[in-house]
């Protein structure tokens, strides 16, 4: 009887311990989610761990119990602030290409007179200083007069200079105005109603519907350039990809759609795509026929691309690091200290990348450095992750972060195979950032077809930025040449081939 009672108590004890472990894991998960929500609402977005003072500081959002002990005064360290150096850096010279207006301030007749002998003193030089002014942009009317002639003897023999082709036939905007409109909307993220107001303040009221029509027509005309850019991008050995949401107004309602970005670096090419959903069929169709490396996050929609084996997956260490960072920033002690250890491992991997950049190694040199230094760290890190995972409850945040890394491990370590690969997917994340900034201003796209137009213009503007080209000057040049350019010469209009006037 006693043995049966002991066995029942032991079983009950095991059950209670298992229940307690589950509840502790659930509490840890809920605390982590709550901290994430607070960070989303009130916190900074930087992925940098601050060094906290070694004091018993109460949580900001927790209630302070009445019997809480009063913290002892904090001993702050004295920080010596050095005074600015005497040799302060001089002001940078203003660019030489800017137009200059010279204003001469003459001396008065009294100042020209020598106080000693009374003779008039000649001017021997100037004390010069340069300051910057702004001349507001202005609209202007360009009247084109085409000569025509007729024979006085032969009635009806009339000849006229043919009208030059335009992006918008029989429309009033010239390439300069269209380029400015596209850059204002997609480069500086100004909604059309603000652009309408700007033109109205200059005394030229242009209806918003007209501006929208100009944008749409220009975008459709530029589409062949982006299609060619995608074809050239698919010839590169490495493509970086990412996606983000964007709202689209359709039949009076807004719904969520997606923007995708595909980027390469030899030469720099950035191509955007707009789709109705996030289904994997969209990137698969966009990269049809591609063979090489695709670096992206671990979104399952890319699996259709990797299934055939022609495209190799390269995962992003920034994504893996971010999961540990979000845990580490919540607390500096306790069970989550594992996240700090993981961040130290990842930091050692990034230190090798910095060394490669500092030494300006080529692709082969970078590959050798990674094989010699990164591979041992990766092997050690993987063993550490596997060992630590066995010690954690399955649904805790740290266990989930470790599970993410181990699940994608082959793709995470693939960057060491080729020096042309990068340790993370930050290249495409930087390319997607202008879209996230833009949607804060214009909130949503006006129509589904406007989404692809936006993708087209974004592609050209962002590629110009990657190449260090003035996007507006490029768009003006291309919109001026495009109507008379044959399809076989379309490559001459691409950003990396385009020769801007005066360049």
Q: Convert the pLDDT of each residue in 142-189 to its tens digit.
A: 988 999 888 877 777 788 988 888 899 888 999 999 999 999 999 999
Indicate the pLDDT class of residue 491, thresholds 50, 70 and 90. very high
Task: Tell me the two tokens of residue 108.
Answer: 């008065």
Task: Tell me the two tokens of residue 115.
Answer: 């106080």
Span 268-290, average pLDDT: 94
Q: Convert the pLDDT of each residue in 210-224 to its tens digit.
A: 999 999 999 999 999
In this structure, is residue 385 part of a structural domain? yes
Indicate the pLDDT class of residue 46, thresholds 50, 70 and 90. low
Q: Give 171's contacts (C-beta < 8 A, 6+ positions apart).
A: 214, 217
Give residue 349's domain range: 317-423
Span 361-376, average pLDDT: 96
In this structure, is residue 214 part of a structural domain? no
Is it the case that residue 273 has pLDDT exceeding 80? yes
In this structure, is residue 36 part of a structural domain? no
In this structure, is residue 244 part of a structural domain? no
Task: Tell me the two tokens of residue 202.
Answer: 């200059």
Helices (H), 44-107: none
In this structure, is residue 344 part of a structural domain? yes
In this structure, is residue 371 part of a structural domain? yes
**Quick one: pLDDT at residue 479?**
95
DSSP letters for 181-236: HHIIIIIS---HHHHHHHHHHTT----HHHHHHHHHHHHHHHHHHHHHHHHHHTTS
Backbone φ, ψ for residue 250 (5° rounding): -145, 115
Query: Could you tell me which residue, 351 or 54, shows the higher pLDDT?
Result: 351
Instruction: Specify the number of domains making up the chain.
Output: 1
In this structure, is residue 336 part of a structural domain? yes
* Element housing 12 (H / E): helix 2-42
In this structure, is residue 332 part of a structural domain? yes
Backbone φ, ψ for residue 444 (5° rounding): -155, 160
State how far the Cα of 283 lies from the Cα of 286, in Å rounded to an integer: 5
Question: What radius of gyration do the chain's Cα atoms show?
Answer: 32
Indicate the pLDDT class of residue 51, thresholds 50, 70 and 90. very low
Q: Convert the pLDDT of each residue in 87-125 to its tens digit.
A: 566 677 888 888 899 999 898 888 888 888 888 888 888
State how far the Cα of 151 lies from the Cα of 156, in Å rounded to an integer: 8
Contact 455, 259 (CB under 8 A): yes
């Amino acid at each position: 009887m006693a043995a049966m009672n002991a066995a029942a108590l032991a079983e009950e004890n095991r059950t209670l311990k298992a229940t307690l472990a589950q509840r502790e894991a659930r509490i840890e998960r809920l605390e982590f989610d709550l901290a994430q929500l607070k960070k989303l609402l009130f916190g900074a977005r930087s992925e940098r761990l601050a060094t906290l003072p070694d004091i018993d500081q109460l949580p900001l959002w927790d209630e302070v119990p009445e019997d809480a002990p009063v913290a002892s005064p904090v001993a702050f360290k004295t920080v010596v602030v050095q005074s600015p150096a005497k040799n302060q850096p001089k002001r940078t010279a203003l660019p030489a290409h800017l137009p200059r207006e010279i204003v001469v301030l003459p001396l008065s007749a009294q100042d020209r007179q020598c106080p000693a002998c009374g003779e008039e003193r000649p001017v021997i030089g100037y004390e010069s200083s340069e300051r910057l002014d702004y001349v507001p942009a202005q609209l202007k009317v360009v009247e084109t007069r085409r000569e025509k002639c007729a024979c006085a003897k032969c009635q009806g023999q009339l000849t006229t200079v043919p009208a030059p082709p335009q992006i918008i036939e029989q429309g009033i905007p010239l390439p300069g105005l269209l380029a400015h409109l596209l850059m204002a909307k997609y480069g500086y993220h100004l909604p059309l109603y603000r652009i309408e107001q700007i033109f109205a303040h200059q005394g030229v009221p242009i209806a918003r519907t007209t501006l929208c029509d100009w944008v749409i027509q220009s975008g459709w005309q530029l589409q062949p350039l982006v299609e060619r850019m995608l074809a050239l991008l698919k010839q590169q050995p490495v493509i970086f990809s990412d996606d983000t949401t964007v709202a689209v107004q359709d039949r009076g309602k807004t719904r969520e759609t997606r923007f995708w970005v595909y980027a390469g670096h030899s030469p720099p090419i950035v191509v955007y795509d707009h789709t109705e959903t996030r289904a994997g069929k969209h990137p698969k169709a966009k990269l049809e026929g591609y063979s090489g490396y695709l670096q992206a996050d671990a979104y399952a929609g890319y699996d259709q691309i990797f299934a055939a084996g022609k495209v190799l997956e390269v995962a992003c260490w920034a994504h893996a690091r971010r999961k540990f960072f979000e845990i580490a920033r919540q607390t500096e002690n306790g069970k989550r200290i594992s996240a700090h250890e993981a961040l130290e491992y990842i930091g050692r991997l990034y230190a090798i990348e910095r060394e490669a950049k500092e030494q300006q190694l080529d692709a082969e040199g970078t590959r050798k450095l990674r094989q010699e230094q990164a591979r041992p760290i990766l092997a050690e890190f993987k063993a550490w992750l596997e060992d630590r995972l066995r010690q954690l409850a399955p649904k805790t945040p740290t266990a989930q972060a470790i599970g993410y890394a181990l699940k994608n491990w082959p793709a995470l370590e693939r960057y060491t195979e080729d020096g042309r690969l990068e340790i993370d997917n930050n290249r495409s994340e930087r390319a997607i950032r202008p879209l996230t900034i833009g949607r804060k201003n214009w909130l949503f796209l006006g129509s589904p077809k406007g989404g692809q137009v936006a993708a087209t213009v974004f592609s050209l503007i962002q590629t110009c930025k990657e190449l260090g080209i003035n996007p507006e000057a490029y768009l003006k040049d291309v919109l001026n040449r495009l109507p008379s350019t044959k399809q076989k010469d379309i490559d001459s209009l691409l950003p990396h081939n385009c020769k801007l006037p005066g360049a």
